[in-house]
Structure 1
Amino acid sequence: MNLATQELKPVYQEMAEKVKLYGVEVSPFVCRVKYALNLKGVNYEFIQEDLDNKSPDLLKYNPVLKNVPVLRLLHNGNPISESLVIIEYIDDVWKGVPIMPKDAYEKAQARFWAKFFVDKCHPAIFKAIGSHGEKQDVAEAHEHLQFLENELNVKGSKFFGGDNMGLIDICATFIGYWVGAAEEALGIEVVTKDKFPKVIEWAHNCINCQVVKDDLPSRESLIAYYTRRFGKA
């Protein structure tokens, strides 16, 4: 049985150690952590933050960056911040569906592509959205996305690492869900199927995994968010 395609509903196990996740519902960074916790069957409590009025707990547990997500372990109170760091920690600590490959080279590749997505693709796409699809900004986003398109063509698999959802696939949910909501809210096109068919197919596979679908924010809330943040008066 293929454990990580998530076409079968996962069994959410009650864990002896409960954790708290501080975040905001519409954040793709926070949702990444939710998906990793779901993959492992970890029982957690979600604490909704107001980033315009940050809670004392958030400032206490992430005093350096003062942002979300933050994962806090209740047995010792230790906090962990930054989504990719948290995801790798979750994979190291809890058994269940592996998020990172076991092979050292494949693990390094997963980290490389996840970092490329987080450092290059995500900011470029967000910039293109924020500029309402300005030609030069869309071109920059497309330049980065083409690397992913080419790599997915070479791999020819359902997920980036093969048949199982892993680290970069968790990141891809931004393309599969958040971008579409932003495009609808602002009446623009940034990531199109004609230019990036493999990327669109891949992102679609990721958001249709049960562990992701269970914790996607409502499309209406995302459309409202992008309308408030980038809508023209």
Structure 2
Amino acid sequence: MSNKSSTLLKMNPVHQQIPVLIHNGRPICESMIIVQYIDEVWSHKPSLLPSDPYRHAHARFWADYIDKKIYPIGRNLWASKGELKESSKEDLFQCFKILEEELGDKLYFGDESFGYIDLALIPFYSFFYTFETLGNWSMVAEFSKLVEWG
């Protein structure tokens, strides 16, 4: 996005990127921070984040892992060639393997109900086909639990 609006530049002067939620004239930036803000401001039961402090931290850890790993590695897989593409393929494969281990036999990452970790990963579900095409693997064959989760 090279043609950034003046509103975006004003509301997110540090990263100058979307998403930005403007609430009561004040900006909240970054996807998962926005989700947490919404969860806290418009409180509802059940919350997306567990009330238990350990499980809360655990959910935030995995959401951060997804945020910092899947997109950057997937982008490298898509936009690179040669060694970087091959290493990105291997790295993304390992990320999915780790996430599938974390999911285990649960229906959702947050155990019995869709929660914060699931919300962090679900946007990438639409890229599974692209990742398997670029990575030359089968998501169903390699990561059947993640595909079923999605």
Q: Aligning the two structures, in what range does the TM-score lie when normalised by the shorter sequence?
A: 0.7 to 0.9
Distance 2:91 2:135 in 1: 16
Residue 35 (structure 2) aligns with: 87
Matched ranges for 1:1-233 at <5 A: 51-73=1-23, 76-96=24-44, 97-131=46-80, 134-153=85-104, 156-180=105-129, 182=130, 189=136, 192-202=139-149, 204=150
Q: TM-score if structure 1 supplies the norm length? A: 0.57
Write the deviation string for residues 53-76 of structure 1: whole angstroms up to 9, x where unpaired.
111111111111111000011xx3
Change (3 A) 1:187 1:118: closer
1:152, 1:160 within 8 Å by CA — same for their partners in 2? yes
Q: Is the contact made by 2:128 and 2:139 (CA closer than 8 Å) also made in structure 1?
A: no
The answer as to whether partners of 2:77 and 2:88 remain within 8 angstroms in 1 is yes
SS state of the match for residue 138, structure 1?
helix
Contact 1:70 1:79 in 2 (8 A): yes
Runs (4+) of structure 1 moved beyond 6 Å? none
**TM-aligned CA distance change 1:137 to 1:188, over 3 Å:** closer
CA, structure 1 residues 119+98, in 2 after alignment: closer, same or farther (shift >3 Å)?
Answer: same
Distance 1:126 1:179 in 2: 13
Letter in 2 for 1:53: N
Q: Which runs of 5+ in 1 are unaligned?
A: 1-50, 205-233
Q: Provide the identity percentage.
A: 35
AA matched with 1:88 = Q
More helix by share: 2
Aligned to 1:157, what secondary structure does the other structure show?
coil
Contact 1:71 1:86 in 2 (8 A): yes
Please provide the CA RMSD for this pair: 2.2
Structure 2: give runs of 5+ residues left out of the alignment. none
Q: How many angstroms apart in 2 are the aligned matches of 1:174 and 1:130?
A: 19
Distance 1:193 1:104 in 2: 34
User: Structure 2: how far apart are the matches of 1:52 and 1:137?
Assistant: 26
User: Which protein, 1 or 2, shows the higher relative CO under an 8 Å CA cutoff with sep ≥ 6?
Assistant: 1
Matched pairs, number: 147
Instruction: Give the conservation status (yes or no) of the 8 Å contact 1:72–1:80.
Output: yes
The answer to whether the 8 Å contact 1:110/1:161 transfers is yes
Distance 1:191 1:119 in 2: 23
* Alpha-carbon distance in 1 for matches of 2:134, 2:98: 26
